[in-house]
Amino acid sequence: MGMDLLRRLPAVHRLLDHPVCRELIEQYSHRFVSRMAGEVIGDLRTAIVAGAGCEADLQPEVLAGQVAQRVQAQFQPHYRPVINATGVVLHTNLGRAPLPDVAVRAIDRTARGYTNLELNLATGERGSRYDHVERLICELTGAEAALVVNNNAAAVLLVLSEMAKGKSVVISRGQLVEIGGSFRVSEVMRASGAHLVEVGTTNKTHGYDYERAIDDETGLILKVHTSNFRVVGFTHQPELADLVALAHARNVPVYEDLGSGSLIDLRSYGIGDEPTVGESVRAGVDIVSFSGDKLLGAAQAGIIVGKQEYVKRLKKNQLTRALRVDKFTLAALEATLMLYRDEDIAKRDVPTIWMLLRTPTTMNTDAQRLHQGLADVFGERADVRLEAGLSQVGGGSLPTEELPTWHVTVKSRHFSLNELEHQLRHVDMPVMTTLQKEALHFDVRTIFPREIETVVTSVGQAVQRLG
């Protein structure tokens, strides 16, 4: 039986003569569709040899249909929108900060044609791609100068390479952090050509530890804000202004890697203890860097601010060209920064800030809508409740902060929650949830009001697939 099926396998050119395949060739290309047809026939040959093939598999309609499925699957975009119902505001796996509407429009406007990226329209001469966004950053932070590279890790590499290559960098042992992707401060320091000098202990570092470490070979004092973890209890770090004073007394510049970096003082809203970029600048820090797609809520970028003399050197470093950002990043960053000229507007229009500042009271209407919608979908098949819960900031920001929120929880009576969670990732609009305490949780904080009905629809599709 198997040998007979193998002999009846069609040649690729015969399968391509099927009307379905001819239509595919017109839409895509002969070469690509031919390759997909070859894969379909090859897989069927393997199945027959393994004893899994049958007569029906050889039907031309079946084979042509499989070719069509493969072709269409290959042209499905990998990057798809998803709904974040995890409550993690800066979810790294989900792309971190969603952009403000004005930033999305700025990218669209920039992408559809040419733009004055490096053209001074007033003079008609070549200009700098950074000029306007630099002015905005300086306006909002109080810094003398600014530069933008493609992420904060790049900013760290650039600063260390320019300011301390072949020299020593003094850092507290308690600040030798590792962030996502095994990115370690000690490793990037080695890559930059700087020499690491650790001072103090994991939990305590004093000003005199820094003073003892400074010598003629010291190029920089590096302070790393531990934005993705906290050491609590018996701890000490010198105040930033004091660290700057002792460094400047020895003619050593200070560089602070803020990591997340916020332009709004979230402490005034009862959220965390994250310092603002402006505070570091006012404390006299020579160079400060932070991320664009974390608490700022903009596109991925590494933003460097500081004293003119040092930023000027960074701009001339050869790495700057390799690490520069494109027109889309600059367009999105500019549009987002403009919102921060009025804090009330930023709180309303920057999605990251809006989500962080949501309270159970302001989320109540959305929570009720989602609860009622999911209760209608599940009916008697599940216990759907509205419960108080806690959200996280995420993205290596404010690691100990938990934000009061509303969770719509689903406890199954007749089906597997693991399977439901699986199906929710495979519906038309995937919904990312969390499974905890034998219930599936939908955190309202990170669900936009416009997405409530879509969540209900997606859950309905997932439930139908459960059978």
Task: Answer for the pair 238, 271: CB distance below 8 angstroms, yes or no.
Answer: no
**Whole-number Å distance between alpha carbons of 111 and 102:** 14
Distance CA 129, CA 118 (A): 5
Does 235 share its domain with 277? yes
Q: How many domains does the chain have?
A: 3
| pLDDT, tens digit (0-9, with 9 covering 90-100), for 215-265 | 999 999 999 887 555 566 667 787 888 899 999 999 999 999 998 889 999
Same domain, 191 and 225: yes
Same domain for 311 and 400, yes or no, is no
Q: Residues 207, 107: one domain?
A: yes
Judgement on whether residues 329 and 361 belong to the same structural domain of the protein: no
The span from the CA of 74 to the CA of 36, in Å, is: 10
Structural domain containing residue 53 = 1-74
| pLDDT tens, residue by residue, 172-193 | 888 777 665 566 777 888 888 8
Compute the C-alpha angle 44/47/48, nearest 5°.
90
21 lies in the same domain as 137: no
Look at residue 62 and tell me if it is in a domain: yes
What is the distance between the alpha carbons of residues 20 and 11, in angstroms, rounded to a whole number? 16
Tell whether 124 and 88 lie within a shared domain: no
The three-point CA angle 108-92-388 to 5° equals 110
Residue 186 lies in a domain: yes
Considering the domain architecture, whether residues 264 and 367 belong to the same structural domain is answered as no
Q: Do 131 and 49 fall within a single domain?
A: no
For residue 351, being part of any structural domain is answered with no
Assess whether pLDDT exceeds 80 at residue 2: no
Instruction: Name the helix (H) or strand (E) containing 442.
Output: strand 439-443
Using a pLDDT cut of 70, give the percent of the chain over it.
Answer: 96
| Alpha-carbon distances of 76 from 70, 71, 72, 144, 392, rounded to whole Å | 10, 9, 6, 47, 32
CATH of the domain at 448: 3.90.1150.180
Q: Is residue 314 a part of any domain in this protein?
A: yes
Q: How far apart are CA 192 and CA 273, in angstroms?
A: 31
Assess whether 185 and 220 both reside in one domain. yes
For residue 27, what are the contacts with CB-CB under 8 A and spacing of at least 6?
Answer: none
Query: pTM for the whole thing?
Result: 0.88
**Residues with Cβ within 8 Å of residue 136, at least 6 apart in sequence:** 334, 337, 338
pLDDT value of position 55: 79
Q: Is residue 371 part of a domain?
A: yes
pLDDT in tens, 364-414: 999 999 999 999 999 999 999 999 999 999 877 777 789 999 999 999 988
pLDDT at site 274: 83
Query: Whose structure tokens read 């993690």?
Result: 88
Position 197 in a domain: yes
Mean pLDDT on 277-293: 96
> Which stretch of 200-214, 299-313, 443-457 has the lowest confidence by average pLDDT?
200-214
Could you tell me the CATH number of the domain that includes residue 277?
A: 3.40.640.10
Question: Does 70 lie in the same domain as 87?
Answer: no
The answer to whether residue 432 sits within a structural domain is yes
User: Which secondary structure element, helix H or strand E, spans residue 383, and what is its range?
Assistant: strand 382-394
Asked, for residue 18, whether it belongs to a domain, the answer is: yes
Domain end point (choices 291, 319, 346): 346
State whether residue 285 is helix, strand or coil: coil
Task: Supply the mean pLDDT for the chain.
Answer: 92
Q: Which of 81, 452, 398 shows the shortest CA–CA distance to 225?
A: 398
CA-to-CA distance for 402 and 15, rounded, in angstroms?
A: 59
Same domain for 187 and 303, yes or no, is yes
pLDDT of residue 238: 76
